[in-house]
Structure 1
């Protein structure tokens, strides 16, 4: 079987998982600089979803690291289906969280009376942007793994 670039067990997948972890952590970090994010449901939703993405990506990153360094990863269709389903669910949740955070931040900035200071809203925008980057990497890894599942 040919190696699918970006699929589970490859060095590209390890890089994608590392990027997911970094961008999800950055999203939580920028959102948590100020305690007022608890006032808005979409901001809490973003923190919750990114808090789910981090351990998922770290766990699969460890699997990828093991597979890259020891060249021994049996690929079973049921395991791949579980990984793909987890990636798809987290990808759609992170897309929804990033979109809702971006829209609420935009609403807060352009309301008749701005409800958040510019510095705080900029942090929220950076948090939404890093959540979008995390979503992009999650979606890419799920597509690569789906491609691998089709070739098994």
Structure 2
């Protein structure tokens, strides 16, 4: 119930400082994952790596856009409370969380397979970069899942 309290945005819901921290972390880890994966030219040879690059390319603008909304909400002191917009944010967070987890898992599985083959299909330098990329993707997924949970909790508590 909105009784004029501007601080009731929820711990990690859109429009709070917690959400801003989560969104910045998502953008940083997604960018790092994309950077580590894109440094090697060989990632085009594996579908899982292309999938990871595509998903991280979607997560970055999503997180940056919502981070800008959070910056505005935190500094102006007017958290986002429109139910329709919050539902879109929850659906977007949930969808991107699921596909980023799938991309991170598939990339980690391919990396494990490449390492099991003792580097006969990929150089150890690229495998190390791919491992860092998958790790950053998992960290990005963790923050995105937290954002989705906080926003879902916020929407459910408002209705």
TM-score > 0.5, shorter chain as reference: yes
Tell me which residue corresponds to 1:25.
Answer: 31
Aligned residues: 152
Tell me which residue corresponds to 1:106.
Answer: 112
Deviations 1:78-112 (A, max 9, x none): 11110000000000000000000000011011126
Runs of 4+ in 1 over 3 A off after TM superposition: none
Unaligned runs of 5+ in 2: 3-7
Residues 1:51 and 2:28 aligned together: no
Deviations 1:22-42 (A, max 9, x none): 000000000011111001000
CA-based RMSD of the aligned residues comes to 1.2
CA distance in structure 2 between the partners assigned to 1:81 and 1:112 by the alignment: 47
CA distance in structure 1 between the partners assigned to 2:22 and 2:54 by the alignment: 21
**C-alpha displacement of 1:117:** 1.4
**C-alpha displacement of 1:3:** 3.9
Matches within 5 A, 1:3-152: 3-111=9-117, 114-152=120-158
User: What SS does the corresponding residue of 1:115 show, helix, strand or coil?
Assistant: coil
When structure 1 is superposed on structure 2, of 67-76 and 142-151 the one drifting more is 67-76
When structure 1 is superposed on structure 2, of 2-11 and 106-115 the one drifting more is 106-115
When structure 1 is superposed on structure 2, of 68-77 and 127-136 the one drifting more is 68-77
Identify if the C-alpha distance between structure 1 residues 75 and 113 changes in structure 2 by more than 3 Å, giving closer, same or farther: closer
Q: TM-score w.r.t. structure 2 length?
A: 0.92
CA distance in structure 2 between the partners assigned to 1:120 and 1:54 by the alignment: 23
CA distance in structure 2 between the partners assigned to 1:114 and 1:101 by the alignment: 17
